[in-house]
Structure 1
Amino acid sequence: MVFTVQQIATALGARVEGDAGLTVQRAAEPAQADAQALALAMDPKYAEGLAQGAARAAILWDGADWQALGLRAAIFVPRPRYAMSGLTRLMDPGPEIAPGIHPTAVIDPTAQIGPGAAIGPFVVIGARVVIGQGARIAAHASVAEDARIGDDALILQGVRIGARVRIGHRFIAQPGAVVGSDGFSFVTLEKSAVENVRESLGDTGDAAKQGWTRIHSLGAVSIGDDVELGANCCIDRGTIRDTVIGSGTKLDNLVHVGHNVRIGRDCLLCGQVGIAGSSRIGDRVVFAGQVGVNDNIFVGDDVIAGGATKIFSNAPAGRVLLGYPAMRMDTHVEVYKGLRRLPRLFAQVAALQKAVSKRPETD
């Protein structure tokens, strides 16, 4: 693909200086950029890299002297990282999924496939499924009975969409994602040791030795518009009601959402986040990697939790959390500072005890 500097600037809503008709074929880091690449030098620290590479055009930081940097054209953007969104969207060719239905695909005769859909090799689509227009489904994906998927979906290799799942428009699922697997829900005939521990916070009681009996998942999963799932992300169906993912929410690789969970709009859940059953997550919540959320609790709107935070109780709206167990981030930082001071404090206390023990006795 070939782009003029002007085409790129127009797509980004950015300003051009120099030869706007200059063409490039790809983006590159400054030091690796050749004459056919657009160098991404959005910070002064990349100036040295421009000198090492051979780029003729670059995206630069505000105030940069593009001519002194040896360039023939420059694009200036007000918010560099946001510009990356527009640039990568423009240059990304996307996966190659041939239009139409591949002859190896297995599609139930009762399924409805929207116009302009592309169905890849060895895809399996079950009874009464509805696929929206412009959807693209890559090789070895499967969509189970009675599922509905909106327009312009992109479902990549090996994705599994379970029975009765409802998905909105512009859905993206990376390879291996699973939507609508059974919830992990088991019960014992009599009160179990786990139940005793939850009540006593430590005592297993006199629970009998017994096996686990499955609680089947009769619900499904409902997903809004513009939701994206990372590779090997897993969302369990609800027990009776649906598990719900709000519009605009993005789930990273290896995120697990348990049965009956409700996640709001425009949330961002990073890699290895786990949310236990029946918890509710508000809108615009951000969980960094490996955050864990206990079952049956509520996390309010606009909460941000740092990496590996473990949330065991309700979190009010707007709270910034960190740690195990979760606490306010500023409090956690102070606690950690205190922990680091403990060895010195112990040494000081030991020295004081030694000094006191050597004091002569007085009448």
Structure 2
Amino acid sequence: MMHRLDEVATALSARLEGDGSLKIGGAAEPATAGAQDLALAMSPKFAEGLSQGQARAAILWEGADWRALGLEAALFVPRPRYALAGVTAMLDPGPEIPAGVHSTAVIDPSAQIGANASIGPFCVIGRDVRIGANARIAAHCSIGSEARIGDDVLLHAGTRIGARVAIGDRFIAQPSAVIGADGLSFVTPETSAVEQARATLGDTGDAKGQAWTRIHSLGAVVIGDDVELGANACVDSGTIRPTRIADGCKIDNLVHIAHNVELGEHCLLAALVGIAGSTRVGNRCVFGGQVGVSDNIFVGDDVIASGGTKVLSNVPAGRVLMGYPAVKMDTHVEIYKALRRLPRLLGEVRALQKAVSKPGASD
């Protein structure tokens, strides 16, 4: 789809200079931009790339001379990366899901599907499911019995939603996301070695080998509005009470949220984050890639954990964490500096040992 540049400017609340009638059909890096692409040249380091590409219009950094850069028009925005969100939203057609219900979809007669829904090939929708208006459900999705899904949802191919899961409006699931699988909840007839080790911090005592017995997951999952879930991400059902994800959370690929976890509003979780069972996470927390969070702890509001951090105990609000085990980021930086100095320090210690006489040796 083509857009006039002045339409793009209006949508982005951008300042337009030059020819607003130019037609834009895509976005590109400056050096590879075609004549109908909007070049994303948001800082001076991209100036050279503009001369290599064929863009006629670009988003530029404030103060740039668009005429001298060989352009016919330019957009200026106060926060370029935020503008990028608007540009990509305008230009992204999304998955192609034809209107209506595909002939191969299997929908239980008791299910209620909202107006203007699009349901792709080989989808299976179970008993007493409720799906809101304008839903777009791609091929091979399955939705378990009594699930509730709000308006304007988008389920990419292969999404799995379990029984009794409740999801709000404008939910997006990337391919093969799974919501509502059973959690890892098992118990032994007598005290297990794991329980002994946890109680003693390392000693398994006289615990004997035993088989594991499943504790079934009855609590399902409750997800708020405007939540996005990445490809192959998994949210487990709660054991008795539901696992909860509040409004506005954005969850990346391959993230695992275990049973009974409660995730606050507007959290951002990068790929491979794992949050163990019954942990509560506050609002607006940001976890980098491969962050691990232990079970049955509390993480306060506005906590930031850098990639690879392992959170093993309660965290107060506003803390910025790094390392394994997690400590304040500035503390971790000092620890890392000290570790880098260890080889030199050990060399100095060895030299001092040689210089000092052994006990009992004659002078």
Deviation at 1:23, TM superposition (A): 1.3
**Aligned match of 1:11:** 11
> What secondary structure is seen at the aligned counterpart in 2 of 1:340?
helix
Deviation at 1:193, TM superposition (A): 0.5
Q: Deviations over 1:237-295 (max 9, x none)?
A: 00000000000001100000000000000000110000110000000000000000111
TM-score, structure 2 as length reference: 0.98
**Which residue does the alignment assign to 1:212?**
212
* Match in the other structure for 1:354: 354
Q: How far off its partner does 1:330 sit?
A: 0.4
TM-score of the superposed pair, with normalisation by structure 1:
0.98
Distance (whole Å) between structure 2 residues aligned to residue 260 and residue 26 of structure 1: 43
The equivalent residue for 2:41 is: 41
Q: Which amino acid aligns with 1:91?
A: L
Distance in 2 (CA, whole Å) between partners of 1:157 and 1:56 is: 37
| Deviation readout 1:43-93 (Å, 9 max, x if unpaired) | 000001001111111110000010000111000111010000000001111
Structure-1 separation of matches of 2:120 and 2:24? 32
Q: Does 1:154 align with 2:174?
A: no
Amino acid of the structure 2 residue aligned with 1:351: A
1:17-46 deviation digits (Å, cap 9, x = unpaired): 111111121111100012121111000000
Find the counterpart in structure 2 of residue 264 from structure 1. 264
* Alpha-carbon shift at residue 321 of structure 1 (Å): 0.4
The equivalent of 2:291 in structure 1 is 291
Q: Number of aligned residue pairs: give it.
A: 362
Deviation string, structure 1 residues 152-188 (Cα, Å, up to 9, x no partner):
0001100000000000000000000000001110000
Which runs of structure 2 are paired with 1:1-363 in the superposition (5 Å)? Answer: 1-357=1-357
Moved over 6 A (4+): none
The share of aligned pairs that are identical, in percent, is 69
Distance in 2 separating the partners of 1:73 and 1:361? 88
Once residues 321 and 212 of structure 2 are traced to their aligned partners in structure 1, the CA distance between those partners, rounded to angstroms, is 35
Q: State the secondary structure of the residue aligned to 2:90.
A: helix
SS at 2:180's partner residue? Answer: strand
Aligned AA (2:47) = A
SS of the equivalent of 2:47 reads: helix
Q: CA deviation at 1:357?
A: 2.9
What is the letter of the counterpart of residue 239 of structure 1? T
What is the RMSD computed on CA atoms of the aligned residues? 1.2
Note the alpha carbon deviations across 1:292-339, whole angstroms, 9 max, x for none: 011100000000000010011000000000000000010000001000
CA distance in 2, matches of 1:361, 1:12: 84
Question: Aligned to 1:357, what secondary structure does the other structure show?
Answer: coil
Q: Distance in 2 between matches of 1:251 and 1:275?
A: 12
Q: CA deviation at 1:361?
A: 6.1
Structure 2 residues not aligned, in runs of 5+: none
